[in-house]
Protein backbone atom coordinates (compact mmCIF):
# COMPACT_ATOMS: atom_id res chain seq x y z
CA UNK A 1 0.00 0.00 0.00
CA UNK A 2 1.38 3.43 -0.98
CA UNK A 3 0.71 6.36 1.34
CA UNK A 4 0.99 9.54 -0.74
CA UNK A 5 0.89 11.85 2.29
CA UNK A 6 4.12 10.39 3.72
CA UNK A 7 5.61 9.04 0.46
CA UNK A 8 5.99 5.60 1.97
CA UNK A 9 5.24 2.11 0.72
CA UNK A 10 4.14 -0.38 3.38
CA UNK A 11 4.00 -4.12 2.89
CA UNK A 12 2.92 -7.00 5.08
CA UNK A 13 4.61 -10.38 5.04
CA UNK A 14 2.79 -13.69 4.94
CA UNK A 15 3.88 -17.16 3.90
CA UNK A 16 1.80 -19.62 1.89
CA UNK A 17 3.00 -23.20 2.16
CA UNK A 18 2.94 -25.62 -0.79
CA UNK A 19 -0.12 -27.37 0.59
CA UNK A 20 -1.97 -24.03 0.63
CA UNK A 21 -1.82 -23.30 4.35
CA UNK A 22 -1.40 -19.57 5.10
CA UNK A 23 0.83 -18.56 7.98
CA UNK A 24 -0.82 -15.58 9.64
CA UNK A 25 0.41 -12.04 8.82
CA UNK A 26 2.71 -10.39 11.35
CA UNK A 27 0.16 -8.39 13.35
CA UNK A 28 -2.04 -11.46 13.93
CA UNK A 29 0.83 -13.60 15.19
CA UNK A 30 2.18 -10.97 17.59
CA UNK A 31 5.37 -10.41 15.57
CA UNK A 32 5.72 -7.04 13.80
CA UNK A 33 7.35 -7.58 10.42
CA UNK A 34 5.98 -4.76 8.26
CA UNK A 35 8.36 -3.27 5.75
CA UNK A 36 8.25 0.50 5.29
CA UNK A 37 10.09 2.03 2.35
CA UNK A 38 10.46 5.80 1.93
CA UNK A 39 9.92 6.75 -1.70
CA UNK A 40 11.77 9.85 -2.89
CA UNK A 41 10.66 11.87 -5.89
CA UNK A 42 13.18 12.94 -8.52
CA UNK A 43 13.38 16.52 -7.20
CA UNK A 44 13.95 15.28 -3.62
CA UNK A 45 16.83 13.09 -4.82
CA UNK A 46 18.29 16.01 -6.78
CA UNK A 47 18.21 18.26 -3.71
CA UNK A 48 19.82 15.58 -1.52
CA UNK A 49 22.54 15.02 -4.12
CA UNK A 50 23.21 18.76 -4.54
CA UNK A 51 23.47 19.23 -0.76
CA UNK A 52 26.03 16.40 -0.72
CA UNK A 53 28.24 18.00 -3.35
CA UNK A 54 26.93 16.41 -6.56
CA UNK A 55 25.50 17.88 -9.76
CA UNK A 56 22.71 16.11 -11.68
CA UNK A 57 23.93 15.28 -15.19
CA UNK A 58 20.98 13.26 -16.56
CA UNK A 59 17.86 11.25 -15.82
CA UNK A 60 17.87 7.94 -17.71
CA UNK A 61 15.38 5.18 -18.39
CA UNK A 62 16.20 1.47 -18.32
CA UNK A 63 16.26 1.39 -22.15
CA UNK A 64 18.73 4.30 -22.38
CA UNK A 65 21.40 2.68 -20.22
CA UNK A 66 24.10 1.42 -22.58
CA UNK A 67 22.13 2.61 -25.62
CA UNK A 68 22.98 6.27 -26.35
CA UNK A 69 20.97 6.24 -29.61
CA UNK A 70 17.70 5.32 -27.88
CA UNK A 71 14.93 7.87 -28.49
CA UNK A 72 13.15 8.57 -25.22
CA UNK A 73 9.37 8.37 -25.06
CA UNK A 74 7.82 11.11 -22.89
CA UNK A 75 5.79 8.64 -20.78
CA UNK A 76 8.77 6.45 -19.81
CA UNK A 77 9.78 6.59 -16.15
CA UNK A 78 13.32 7.72 -15.43
CA UNK A 79 14.94 5.07 -13.24
CA UNK A 80 18.49 6.30 -12.93
CA UNK A 81 19.96 9.67 -12.06
CA UNK A 82 23.53 10.29 -13.24
CA UNK A 83 25.52 12.51 -10.87
CA UNK A 84 28.85 14.28 -11.10
CA UNK A 85 30.93 15.14 -8.04
CA UNK A 86 31.45 18.92 -7.75
CA UNK A 87 34.30 20.55 -5.88
Q: What is the per-residue pLDDT for 52?
A: 93
Q: Is the pLDDT of residue 27 over 70?
A: no
Q: What is the per-residue pLDDT for 31?
A: 43
Q: From residue 71, how far is each of 29, 42, 63, 80, 83 by CA, in Å?
A: 51, 21, 9, 16, 21
Q: pTM here?
A: 0.52
Q: What is the per-residue pLDDT for 34?
A: 66
Nearest to 42 by CA among 26, 60, 25: 60
- What are 3-23's pLDDT values in tens digits? 888 888 877 777 777 787 777
- Contact, 11 vs 34, CB < 8 A? yes
- What are 40-66's pLDDT values in tens digits? 888 888 899 999 999 988 877 777 777
Amino acid sequence: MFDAATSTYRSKNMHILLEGKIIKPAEESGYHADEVIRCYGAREIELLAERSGFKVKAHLTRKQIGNPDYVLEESEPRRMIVLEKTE
